[in-house]
Amino acid sequence: MSQHTVLVIDDSATIRKLVDRHLSAVGYRVVLAANAEEGVQLAAEIMPDLVLLDHQLPGTTGYNVATQLSETEALRQIPVVISSTLRKKAYAEYIDLDNVVDMLPKPYTEELLQTTVANAIETAAMIVGSQSGGSAVPEVINAQDEAALTGNFSFFGLRELLDFLNNGQKLGVLEVEAGRTRIRFHLEKGRIQGVYAHGIDPHEVEQMTARLPKSLTNLAPVLKMTVGGRSCTEIDGFVQLLDQKVLDPRLMSKLLRFQASILVRFAFTQKLTAFRFEAGHTPNTLHRSLPLDISLLALLVEAAIYSDDQLQIDDQTTFVRRAIRGQNLDRAGLSARHMNLMNVLSEPKDARELVRTLGWDSDEVGQVLLAFEQAELIERRVQSCAGLFVVFEPDPTHAQRLRESLEASDNRYSGKVVRDKLALQLVLKRTIPHSLIFAGDDEAACALIGKILDYDDPQIEQMQRIVLTSDRSHRDEWTQQLGFRVDSTLARQSTATQLFAVLDRLQSGKNTPPPLATAGSIDSPLLVNAGAAS
């Protein structure tokens, strides 16, 4: 069955929503227009198979619209059905218009609406199969339950709305509007069970089929039907074939998951306007037979992998995990591999660090980062400091004086002052600094630093070493005394300004600043991976 397009021109929002619901449910693509001018413009753009036209419109009448359509060469073959509470009195005005093929009296039932539209399209022998959909319908059709929740996206996003419903284990359908496209999410047991769309542009559907994995390319024609989520004989036939084991349910489940991921990404990348949640609404037979039972995050990650979007990697941008109260923490369907990326973002890391830490290629890291960012699980931070340093100063008086000086400084460098071995291990386990500053007058401190610097790792070798000492010996003497390279010495009672001056001098003597690196613990290999300079 080819999908026919019905253009509804009616100033009643209630009618448009009702028509949209009842015609979409049986496979039509519905496009909305709230006034005559918009309706005529849309008719020329999408060439619908039928126009359902309200007799009484703001500033004009259905007769004037039907006349304008009939006098336009490209539009005169489009059949028009007039809808009005005036019934025969209104219909009499249209007798002389060849394009008006029927009358739909208000109020009417769902069955009468569907029968009238089907008969008008069939008898008028329509031409073009059309485009996207909107929503419309008369004050008629058998009463429809009020939506349990309605609103717009002025003050919150789709992720927040889905989290709210899934955290509450709500059963029903969430419909969101993006232009003339409406995306419907079937929710149950705190997860997404199915996603489909009404009024989606055929060009978008073609792009979806072009992205199908190789294992699903033979199901491209099926996707063109399932994407609309409609109930029709073809879909029911597929369900019967699944029940009879003629079709592989695993492939169909994979197709529905692919479809859901692409539509979820579409919803997250479009400007959304309104939403409505219909509590207790059940899906069609196909989605009932093959529920996805999947998390939003898993669908966003899968969609990102199918997309062509590329993460722009630079040395100044880092990513870090964020915690949001009320956020849905379900990760159903997300691979342990991709979940691991979240685990390593307890501290800010740039994309290059993540590539080295995880051992993935940069494309995969970028795709998963983009998906996590869409789900608002991580955030970007821009490194504004010139470098990261760690000061190991066991003496409490010296340590406190330096901390106070750093707090009052210009902060062009970022760093920490630690006093004991455990604190130093914790800092280095998270990030290897550009510069390591330590108390050279303390034998235990020197021994510990010597142990840290004893690892044969290029990242340790690049780390700048600065000795805090009351002995103003030349750095070469300290290198000889300690047994490892010392880049500079600094008076133990120095201020942040004096420390930064040494760091500036060391940085200016290199083509690039030393890299930040992800570290392990001191008792295991200290450095695990290195990152790019920030």
Partner residues linked to 529 by β-bridges: 518
Q: Are 181 and 263 part of one and the same domain? A: yes
Q: Is residue 460 part of a domain?
A: yes
Domain that holds residue 476: 388-530
Distance CA 94, CA 101 (A): 9
Intra-chain end-to-end CA distance of the chain, in Å: 58
Q: Is residue 231 part of a domain?
A: yes
Taking only the tens of pLDDT, the chain with its 534 residues reads 447 899 999 999 889 989 998 898 888 889 999 999 999 999 999 999 899 999 889 999 999 999 999 888 889 888 899 888 876 666 778 777 778 888 888 888 888 898 888 888 877 643 223 322 333 333 433 344 567 888 999 888 999 999 999 999 999 999 999 887 889 999 999 999 999 888 787 788 888 888 898 888 888 888 877 787 655 445 555 556 565 665 677 888 898 999 999 999 999 999 999 999 988 876 666 777 789 999 999 999 999 998 888 777 666 688 888 877 778 888 999 999 999 888 888 877 888 888 888 899 888 999 999 999 999 899 887 665 556 889 999 999 999 999 888 888 776 777 889 999 888 888 877 777 888 999 998 999 998 888 888 777 777 778 889 999 987 778 888 888 888 889 999 998 888 889 988 888 887 765 344 433 333 333 433 333 333 322
Distances 333 to 164, 204, 276, 292, 401 between C-alpha atoms, Å: 19, 25, 26, 9, 52
Q: Is residue 227 part of a domain?
A: yes
Q: Are 288 and 316 part of one and the same domain? A: no
Q: Are 192 and 215 part of one and the same domain? A: yes
The pLDDT value recorded for residue 313 is 67
Q: Are 370 and 470 part of one and the same domain? A: no
The pLDDT value recorded for residue 381 is 78
Q: Is residue 414 part of a domain?
A: yes
Q: Are 517 and 395 part of one and the same domain? A: yes
CATH (domain of 319): 1.10.10.10
The pLDDT value recorded for residue 453 is 83
The pLDDT value recorded for residue 192 is 95
Distance CA 82, CA 28 (A): 18
Q: Are 277 and 307 part of one and the same domain? A: no
Q: Are 114 and 155 part of one and the same domain? A: no
Q: Are 119 and 183 part of one and the same domain? A: no
Q: Is residue 64 part of a domain?
A: yes
Q: Which of 382, 417, 445 marks a domain boundary? A: 382
The pLDDT value recorded for residue 518 is 37
CATH (domain of 30): 3.40.50.2300
Packed helices 249-269 and 202-210: angle between N→C axes, nearest 10 degrees: 130
Q: Which of 231, 266, 294 marks a domain boundary? A: 294
The pLDDT value recorded for residue 140 is 37
Q: Are 340 and 395 part of one and the same domain? A: no
User: Is-contact 147 216, C-beta < 8 A?
Assistant: no
Question: What's the structural domain count of the chain?
Answer: 4
Q: Is residue 116 part of a domain?
A: yes
Q: Are 107 and 153 part of one and the same domain? A: no
Q: Are 36 and 114 part of one and the same domain? A: yes
User: Is-contact 5 49, C-beta < 8 A?
Assistant: yes
Distance CA 187, CA 283 (A): 9
Q: Which two tokens stand for residue 425?
A: 């291990």
* CA atoms in the 13 A half-sphere facing the CB of 524: 7
Q: Which of 344, 363, 382 marks a domain boundary? A: 382
Q: Is residue 139 part of a domain?
A: no
**pLDDT tens string 97-124:** 778 888 888 888 888 898 888 888 877 6
Distance CA 15, CA 138 (A): 4
Q: Are 91 and 21 part of one and the same domain? A: yes
Question: pTM for the whole thing?
Answer: 0.54
Q: Is residue 268 part of a domain?
A: yes
